[in-house]
Amino acid sequence: MFETLILMLDATLRVSTPLILAALAGLYAERSGIVDIGLEGKILGSAFAAAAGAAVYGSAWIGLCFGILASVGLAMIHGFACITHRGDHIVSGVAINTVVAGLTVTLGLDWFSMGGQTPALSGDARFTDITLPFADALASVPVIGQIYSNLLSGHNILVYLAFAMVPVTYWVIYKTRFGLRLRAVGENPQAVDTAGISVAFIRYRALIICGILCGIAGAYLSTAHNAGFLKDMSAGKGYMALAALIFGKWRPVPVLLACLLFGFLDAVAVRLQGVELPGIGEVPVQAIEVLPYVLTVLLLAGFIGKAVGPKAVGRPYVKERE
Amino acid sequence: MKGIFLASVTALAISASIAQAADIKPAVVYDQAGKFDKSFNEGVYNGIKRYTADTSIQVREFEPKNEAQVEQGLRRLAKRGYSPIVAVGFSMTSAVEKVAKDFPNIHFSIIDGVIDLPNVQSIVFKEQEGSFLVGALAAMKSTTHTVGFVGGMDIPLIRRFGCGYEQGAKYITADATVIQNMTGSTGAAFNDPTKGSELAKSQFSQGADVVFAAAGGTGIGVYQAAKDSGKLAIGVDSNQNHIQPGTMLTSMVKRVDQAAYNAYEAAQTGTWKPGFMVLGLAEGGVDWALDDNNANLITDDMKAKMKDISAKIVSGDIKVHDYMSDNTCNY
């Protein structure tokens, strides 16, 4: 039983990593007042760019750079439309999602002629699992050893990076001058402008950070968790991350917990399939699949309470006299 | 002047119709996994490639992006006079049925689906026989007496794979444990490698050391997980041994390429017939794959046993239960 739990938590870490990265990316964007429904598109675009880069240059790190570049590029397009030209954030985000879904497959067909997929990656072209020091030695120690060597050790570096990003984000948002301004821009851009700080510049910087984090999430999907790009491989993770962001009320630690919950439910769904539960019998696949969504609705309705976003989110900032 | 113009138009029309009578205008509609899924659709694509190479007749291809496009695509092809139109996959059954009724002169061949119309040919396979074979092989190779099965969408057709696999495994090891998982309940379940990889890892942690994936593109994730964990995987539909050489035990081959090829060839020679075609082990419709990529994993003893089992299935000594005959699988 304990071992099963450890394995389920292990799977939870793997599955929630892209969610955490994408949700934190969304956190930066939305805290600065930019609605980012284009998380999905950025993840997908970066997954493709990372896999393509890793396949061509044979290095996962170069792939990661390409992924981040692609994702930041998309974020800048979003910024150009929403900040500079005061466009509608949702329209721009959806446009990015749609363009990327088509563009990745088209470019993939043209470059690799494998039906929109990239070649399968192996060796250095993938982020491989890291065994933490003493993991093997401690494996035989009951409970603590198992937690350390099975649960904490043996993930790839991007998993650790994702978890490290949570305290970093907390620090940036709440403890730095940039974070204060970022939050202020999302709540009351007029006040920030009065203080002589450029609203547009703060928002652009927020989007660059958003792009970098989404880039890592995408690279994780195609070069760490899987080995290669497959069309539509982001499979709604961007939207899930957005849901986790609202669920976690735009705060780093609750967002992390929301992502872990989603990941855990996913892992449970995988594990419970075909298992005979006492008194119920075998649970049909459909019932298990729906579990994460039902729980989300129940938790949101019953326990979390009202989620209120940044006040100025989604509204373009217009200087009063211009 | 007008007379000359009319005459030349008529001549053109006649020559065009002659050209059509000599050639056929074949077409294919893939399912949503896309033609390069390294599995089912790609098998059909390989058959078409071979057909085009042999006859230099181009086959018009259509890849629907969503379910709604399937019927539109079929209708458009039929309207433009393409015949025969090969529809790939059970998911097109209702669309093909509707379109075939509206175009009684166009011939349709549907793979994996059953439609009773005078202009539709239904090609189905005895997947349970091929799955029985790979199940037996999995059980021979397994040291833990636990083998896994990852299905794509939860439908009777995929359950049929799983059931045959279970029977095969238990034919070799009577008390073998067969863990069965389905990826999902929509068509997207055939294109979700991340979920496939998680399902496979979960099965490995429950003791399985050979996993059979009948899940289209989702299988790619299963094979990768097997490679990463040092376990074995079994491919499906086309020979997938080359995807992860060395950790692919074998593939359950469904000769969809041959089915598509035969449909076009029959149409060309005028022998295309509507009705049902059931391709099993005896007809060469299903088999297990042995090539350079997995030769090291298969011992001579295993080969001999597999040959014996094949012969017994063909002769009827081993009766493989078909899940779709009564929707149960009790083994």
Is residue A205 assigned to a domain? yes
pLDDT at B4 over 60: no
Is residue A224 assigned to a domain? yes
Is residue B98 assigned to a domain? yes
- Note the pLDDT tens digit of each residue in B84-103: 999 998 888 999 999 999 99
CA nearest to A18 within chain B: B194
Is residue B331 assigned to a domain? no
* Residues A116, B197: C-beta atoms closer than 8 Å: no
Q: What spatial distance separates the first Cα and last Cα of chain A, rounded to whole Å?
A: 66
**Domain CATH for B296:** 3.40.50.2300
Total domains, chain B: 2
Spatial strand order of the sheet with B27-29 comes to B60-62, B27-29, B85-88, B108-111, B120-125, B275-279
**Which residue in B182, B184, B193 is closest to A230 by CB distance?**
B193
A→B contacts (Cβ < 8 Å), by residue, are 7, 11, 14-15, 114-117, 120, 221, 225-228, 230-233, 235, 266-267, 270-271, 273-274, 285-286, 289
Q: Which of A113, A103, A118, A104 is nearest to A58 (CA)?
A: A118
pLDDT at B10 over 90: no
**pLDDT confidence band for A284 (50 / 70 / 90):** confident
| Residue at A161: amino acid letter | L
Q: State how far residue B101 is from chain A, nearest Cα, in angstroms.
A: 32
Spatial strand order of the sheet with B286-288 comes to B177-184, B146-153, B210-214, B232-237, B248-254, B286-288
**pLDDT confidence band for A320 (50 / 70 / 90):** low
- Average of per-residue pLDDT values in chain A: 86
* Residues A225, B197: C-beta atoms closer than 8 Å: yes
pLDDT at A71 over 70: yes
Is residue A208 assigned to a domain? yes
CA nearest to A224 within chain B: B194
Q: Report the share of chain B in percent with pLDDT over 70.
A: 93
CA nearest to B34 within chain A: A115
Helices B300-315, B127-141: crossing angle, 10 deg rounding: 150
**Which residue in B194, B217, B220 is closest to A225 by CB distance?**
B194
**Cα(A74)–Cα(A96) distance, integer angstroms:** 7
Is residue B96 assigned to a domain? yes
> Do residues B309 and B321 both lie within one domain?
yes
Cβ-count burial B243-260 (b if 16+ within 10 Å, e if not): bbeebbbbbbbbbbbbbb
Range of the structural domain that residue B154 is part of: 127-255+287-326
> Do residues B146 and B57 both lie within one domain?
no
Is residue B33 assigned to a domain? yes
Range of the structural domain that residue A82 is part of: 18-238
Model's pTM, two decimal places?
A: 0.79
CA-based Rg of chain B, rounded to a whole angstrom? 22
**Cα(A3)–Cα(A9) distance, integer angstroms:** 10
Per-residue three-class SS string for chain B: CHHHHHHHHHHHHHHHHHHHHHCCECEEECCCCCCCCCCHHHHHHHHHHHHHHHHCCCCEEECCCCHHHHHHHHHHHHHCCCECEEEECHHHHHHHHHHHHHCCCCCEEEECCCCCCCCEEEEEECHHHHHHHHHHHHHHHCCCCEEEEEEEECCHHHHHHHHHHHHHHHHHCCCCEEEEEEEECCHHHHCCHHHHHHHHHHHHHCCCCEEEEECCCHHHHHHHHHHHHCCEEEEEECCCCCCCCCCEEEEEEECHHHHHHHHHHHHHHCCCCCEEEEECCCCCCEEECCCCCCHHHCCHHHHHHHHHHHHHHHHCCCCCCCHHHHCCCCC
CA nearest to A271 within chain B: B202
Is residue A177 assigned to a domain? yes
**Cα(A271)–Cα(A276) distance, integer angstroms:** 11
- Note the pLDDT tens digit of each residue in B23-69: 788 999 998 777 887 778 888 999 999 999 999 889 999 988 777 88
> Do residues B208 and B270 both lie within one domain?
no
> Do residues B105 and B153 both lie within one domain?
no
> Do residues B184 and B266 both lie within one domain?
no
pLDDT at B3 over 50: yes
CA nearest to B179 within chain A: A274
Q: What spatial distance separates the first Cα and last Cα of chain B, rounded to whole Å?
A: 81
Q: Report yes or no: A74 and A211 within 8 Å, Cβ to Cβ.
A: yes
**Cα(B307)–Cα(B224) distance, integer angstroms:** 29
Q: Could you tell me which residue, A131 or B128, shows the higher pLDDT?
A: B128
- Note the pLDDT tens digit of each residue in B272-315: 888 888 989 988 889 999 998 888 899 999 999 999 999 999 99
> Do residues B242 and B262 both lie within one domain?
no
Predicted local distance difference test score (pLDDT) of residue A303: 67
Q: Give ∠ CA B277-B278-B279 in degrees, rounded to 5.
A: 115
| Residue at B22: amino acid letter | A
> Do residues B295 and B166 both lie within one domain?
yes
> Do residues B86 and B148 both lie within one domain?
no
Predicted local distance difference test score (pLDDT) of residue B14: 45
ipTM over 0.85: no
Total domains, chain A: 1
Q: Which of B117, B110, B133, B55 is nearest to B290 (CA)?
A: B133
Chain A residues within an 8 Å CB radius of B191: 230-232
| C-alpha dihedral, B265 to B267 to B272 to B274, nearest 10° | 120
B→A contacts (Cβ < 8 Å), by residue, are 34-37, 42, 154, 179-182, 184-185, 188, 191-195, 197-199, 201-202, 205, 217, 220-221, 224, 243-244
**pLDDT confidence band for A235 (50 / 70 / 90):** confident
Q: State how far residue A289 is from chain B, nearest Cα, in angstroms.
A: 7
> Do residues B318 and B180 both lie within one domain?
yes
Q: Which of B177, B224, B243 to mutate to test the interface with A (most CBs of A within 10 A)?
A: B224
Predicted local distance difference test score (pLDDT) of residue B13: 47
**pLDDT confidence band for A111 (50 / 70 / 90):** confident
**pLDDT confidence band for B15 (50 / 70 / 90):** very low
Chain B residues within an 8 Å CB radius of A285: 154, 182, 184-185
Q: Give ∠ CA B267-B269-B274 in degrees, rounded to 5.
A: 40
Residues ≥6 apart with Cβ < 8 Å to A180: none
- Note the pLDDT tens digit of each residue in B188-205: 788 788 889 989 998 998
> Do residues B171 and B292 both lie within one domain?
yes
> Do residues B196 and B269 both lie within one domain?
no
Is residue A257 assigned to a domain? no
CA nearest to B189 within chain A: A235
**Which residue in A114, A232, A289 is closest to B185 by CB distance?**
A289
